[in-house]
């Protein structure tokens, strides 16, 4: 397991070990001890997966403190463009955006610390994303900012976005709780 810095503080791209043989592949995205060795005390309290069609855009999501969540995100099938933005006022990389391709053959995961908003857009016909979360879902603390209010090129026309995600607040009207 190799941890790589990204352009956002405390946010890492992680290479998982892949074993291949005639049966297929074996991939280990999480090992508590290896994370700890790399300075990340991560435990998973909630876990879910999503299956999304091409051009589906989900985001940009986070939970407010004290229920803020760190997430470990992997793409198990297909390909997505994954996006995070730093919402931590005191961070050196406040409001910086980081994008990366996550795919079934990349074996990279993204570790997203507390205080970042996260989203993605599906690039393949179908994509499966797995999320391991350090805190459970808390409806009252569930929050987000609108996907098209941050300065990145999503490289998609007419993405499929839920009504809830469409109604999120734009970044320029948003007061960060972090």
Q: Does 167 bind other proteins (CB under 8 A)?
A: no
Residue 61 annotated among the catalytic residues of the structure: yes
Separation CA 81–CA 60 (nearest Å): 13
Q: Active site residue: 4, 12, 61, 137, which one?
A: 61
Q: Does 156 bind other proteins (CB under 8 A)?
A: no
Separation CA 122–CA 129 (nearest Å): 10
- Report in angstroms how near the CB of residue 1 gets to other proteins at its nearest: 11
- Report in angstroms how near the CB of residue 143 gets to other proteins at its nearest: 18
Residue 118 annotated among the catalytic residues of the structure: no
| Closest to 161 in 3D by CA, of 56, 49, 54, 50 | 56
Q: Which of 38, 64, 77, 176 binds other proteins (CB under 8 A)?
A: 77
Q: How are strands ordered across the β-sheet holding 57-63?
A: 97-103, 79-86, 116-122, 57-63, 142-144
Instruction: Give me the residues that bind other proteins (CB under 8 A), please.
Output: 21-33, 43-53, 56, 58, 76-77, 104, 126, 128, 130, 132, 136-137, 160, 162
């Amino acid at each position: 397991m190799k941890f790589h810095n990204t352009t956002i503080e405390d946010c890492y791209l992680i290479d998982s070990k892949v074993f291949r043989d005639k049966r297929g592949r074996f991939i280990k995205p999480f090992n508590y001890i290896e994370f700890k060795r790399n300075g990340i005390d991560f435990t998973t309290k909630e876990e879910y997966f999503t299956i999304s069609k091409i051009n589906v855009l989900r985001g940009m999501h986070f939970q407010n403190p004290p229920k803020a969540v760190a997430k470990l995100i992997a793409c198990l099938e297909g390909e997505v463009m994954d996006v995070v933005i730093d919402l931590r006022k005191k961070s050196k990389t406040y409001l910086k955006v980081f994008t990366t391709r996550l795919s079934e053959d990349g074996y990279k995961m993204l570790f997203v610390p507390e205080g970042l908003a996260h989203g993605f857009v599906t690039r393949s016909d179908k994509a499966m994303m797995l999320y391991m979360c350090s805190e459970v879902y808390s409806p009252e603390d569930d929050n987000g900012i609108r996907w098209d209010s941050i300065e990145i090129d999503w490289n998609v026309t007419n993405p499929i976005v839920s009504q809830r995600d469409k109604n999120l607040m734009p970044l320029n009207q948003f007061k960060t709780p972090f």
